[in-house]
Chain A
Amino acid sequence: MSLASRVLAAVLALLLAGGVCAAFWTLYNGRIAAEKSYDRILLGAASDIAESIRVQRGAPVVDLPVSAFQLLAQAPDDRIHYAVRGPGGRFITGLQTSHREPGRTAAGPVYFDSELQGEDARFVRITRRFAERDFSGEVTVTVGQTLLARQAMALELVTGALVPMVLAGGVLMILAWAVIRSAMRPLDTLSEEFSARDPQDLTPVSTEGLPRELGVLLAGMNRFMGRIDRQVEGMRTLISDSAHQLRTPVAAIRVQAESLLEQEDGPARDRSLARILARTRSLGTLLDKLLSRALVIHRTESAPREVLDLREVALELVEASDHEVLAPDAELRLMIGEGPVMVRADGFSLREAGRNLLVNALKHGQAPVAIGASVQGKEATLWVEDSGPGIPPQIEGSLGARFQRSTASREDSVGIGLSIVVATAEAFGGHVDTARTDGRFRIMLVLPLCPEAPT
């Protein structure tokens, strides 16, 4: 069932329910109104007759007013009953009919329903009390009428109310249909666009001219597609990087292994073996880096972000003591302040980025090396500093390209490491910056400061 027909069915059901309620209400109201107005006529006629009763020579006599009949003739086609009775129900004048009459009740007018010669009729009975010298007692006047005019009036009232209601309902239905159709049109357009789209096409869908609700949905979908796009791109990068980076060392190992086969035992063979071992080690490191980069790129897309203190990241890096393996003699200083340096990011990625900066400094820079975290304005910085000349300017210019391998660098070079740093910075809305002061080189991972720093 389509959305449009669901909404239309709901509107129809609402209108029907409302219509039925209103119909019953008007039916009820119409009957009450007709009842009341014709009851008043009955009462008026009865009162007219009661007014005309006089006491003459000790007996009540009636001079029937023609106005009473003219009143009753307001219901032009209804048969009439009237009767005037003295004390004890003694018939004074009127029409003799047999109808059921209720017993004596209160003094006011008594309305009752009964039959008038086989036809449903409405009656009123009023009582007039006399206290004359020669006559005292009660005279009752009963006036009745069949129900044709009441029913006609009720019907007229009901149709008068129902006909416009039905018309309005029809108009509302048509309007509702048109409104729903126009509201649903963007959905149709959208589904058409999606079905016409190339499966490879992950570019964002334009949200222009769409209702806000759909815009939200589409923006979400665009974000989702962007993520898929980036992941696909990341995977593609990883594969091409890995192929590129691995091809050379694997070829070198193969060449050395082949030359090893041709060599006699002796010191030359041992050298070759040592070289193969060194190559293999460096290949392992390279693989680690590649995987770590892939992991960082994956995590920046998928891992939930947490609020972190960059000081803790720096501390952990120092405590991890990787530098002791790389450069056992190097001096490493930790420089962190009192205040927290909060960012919203993924801890693992940050640690990887920081480790790469640190390892680069230890390997390629000059001691003393320092690591630290600080706040600069609205930005948080995780930095590493050494006393060397820093990155060669031609590399610095293209900082953050997928991989950098300067001629000076070895195969386990800074290239992949820096690209991890740049990717991390970009993933969390920051950038990589460098600075040279007093012969010291500082490279910084700059991230926006998280405003809601925990106390």
Chain B
Amino acid sequence: MIRILILLLTLLPVGTTAQEATATFGTGGSTLLLRSTTDLSIIRPVMERFTERNPDIRVSYEQWGSNALFEASRNACEGEGVSADAIFTSAVHQALFLVNAACARPYRSALTTALPEARRWRDELWGISEEPAVIVYNSDALEGDRVPRSRFELLDLMRRQPEALRGRIATYDIEASGLGYLFAHADSLEASTFGAMLEALARMDAIATCCSAEIIDGVASGRYHIAYNVLGSYAAQRAGRHIGVILPEDYTLVLSRAYLIPKQAGNAPAAERLLDFLLGAEAQTMLADIGLVMSVDPSETGLLPSARRLIPLSPPLLRALDGSTRARMFHLWANAFERDGGG
């Protein structure tokens, strides 16, 4: 039937190119170049299913870091370098920036127009997934009442047991990770707890590092007790191995991974078909299975609908990329964190 060829799965040295991994799905004649920040290992079954359903399309999947992908996409928009046919990124503020800079092309279908307002913009940017930003903890180190259910409880915990947690709290390095920066920015807008949280994290000598996998593995191994603002989908992949996941009860940020078709896309029709596939019921079920689409049912997640804060794909996200905003955020961050050195 359909043979799935994994041609290349290589970790390339950092610096020469920003691609972290590449793979090809399907054997069709029409090649779709998809640049994504989503881990290949997570998204693989979805891509395989897509090429099964669309045998004429061959998907060339490139996994990128969000900042590098942003850089490459901006350059491609200005005519430098090869443009992707589709971009699928968790750094939605960067995606929104690209659309605002007229780097995307519009597309309308029954599925895209059925999306809620907060998950599409200008018919050029669409939110595919729904993933919470969670607190991950090591279930050996913390259990029972000590597990913080909200940001306030986390703050209390850090105040009560500074010694036990010193150097054992991790979060994204916002300079290295577009996603981490996006969450921090959303936190700064969402609540006054942000200042207190930064202060507490600084007091705890918290570790800021680059990558989801690294953070979660660190929690699993007991190196970190708590990781703050980690993308829930990555945690779900590793849950069970001494790991607990909390959707903060005060509010839980929900990210909708963004999909866009660059203006310079060479194979836009294939990109449109992939978009409709991803928004279709089959792909959405698969995405839910791998943790990319969270349930809205409070009895399943323990999260009240009022605490659910979807980061809307709308112009206010542009503020996140503003030079002065970034400078101030980085300044605050740098004051608070001891750099991990990695990333």
Chain A residues within CB distance 8 Å of chain B? 61-64, 66, 69-70, 72-73, 76-77, 79-80, 82, 92-95, 97, 116-119
Contacts and interface: CB of A to CB of B under 8 A. Distances in A.
Interface in B283-325: 314-319, 322-325
Given A95-B100, A117-B101, A80 B315 contact: yes
Contact of A93 (B99, B317, B324): B324
A76 B316 CA distance: 11
Contact of B324 (A63, A95, A117, A118): A63
B117 interface: yes
B100 A118 contact: no
Contacts of B315: 69, 72-73, 80
A95 B317 CA distance: 13
A64 B324 contact: yes
B93 to A, nearest CB: 11
Contacts of A63: 324-325, 328
Given A64-B325, A80-B318, A95-B101, 11 more contacts: A61-B324, A63-B325, A64-B324, A66-B189, A76-B121, A77-B123, A82-B318, A94-B322, A95-B318, A117-B101, A119-B102
Contact of B122 (A79, A82, A94, A117): A79
Contacts of A97: 101
B102 to A, nearest CB: 4
A342 to B, nearest CB: 95
A62 B322 CA distance: 10
Contacts of B122: 77, 79
Nearest to A97: B101
A97 B325 CA distance: 19
A79 B325 contact: no
A147 B121 CA distance: 15
Interface in B189-245: 189
A93 B323 contact: yes
Given A79-B100, A95-B101, A62 B316 contact: no
Contacts of A72: 315
A118 B103 CA distance: 11
B121 A64 contact: no
Most buried by A among B121, B315, B324, B328: B315
A10 B121 CA distance: 51
A139 B286 CA distance: 52
A28 B49 CA distance: 54
A93 B320 CA distance: 12
A73 B100 contact: no
A85 to B, nearest CB: 13
Nearest to A118: B102
Contact of A80 (B100, B117, B328): B100
A69 B319 contact: yes
Contacts of A119: 102
A216 B173 CA distance: 100
A335 B17 CA distance: 143
B251 to A, nearest CB: 16
A271 to B, nearest CB: 131
A92 B117 contact: no
A53 B335 CA distance: 23
Contacts of B319: 64, 66, 69
A64 to B, nearest CB: 5
A95 B315 CA distance: 13
Interface in B82-108: 99-102
Most buried by B among A77, A97, A116, A117: A77
A49 to B, nearest CB: 10
B121 A77 contact: yes
Nearest to B101: A117
A58 to B, nearest CB: 16
A388 B322 CA distance: 135
Contacts of B189: 66
For the complex of A and B, the 8 pairs showing the least CB-CB separation, nearest first, are A117-B102, A69-B316, A93-B324, A93-B323, A73-B315, A77-B122, A62-B324, A73-B314
A117 B104 CA distance: 12
A70 B324 CA distance: 18
A166 B315 CA distance: 38
A80 B122 CA distance: 12
A95 B101 CA distance: 9
A66 B319 CA distance: 7
Nearest to B323: A93
A75 to B, nearest CB: 9
Contacts of B121: 76-77
Contact of B316 (A73, A92, A94, A116): A73
B316 to A, nearest CB: 4
A92 B317 CA distance: 19
7 contacts: A61-B324, A69-B319, A73-B315, A79-B122, A80-B318, A93-B325, A95-B318
B310 to A, nearest CB: 15
A66 B316 contact: yes
B126 to A, nearest CB: 13
A318 to B, nearest CB: 112
Nearest to A62: B324
A69 B318 contact: yes
B101 A76 contact: no
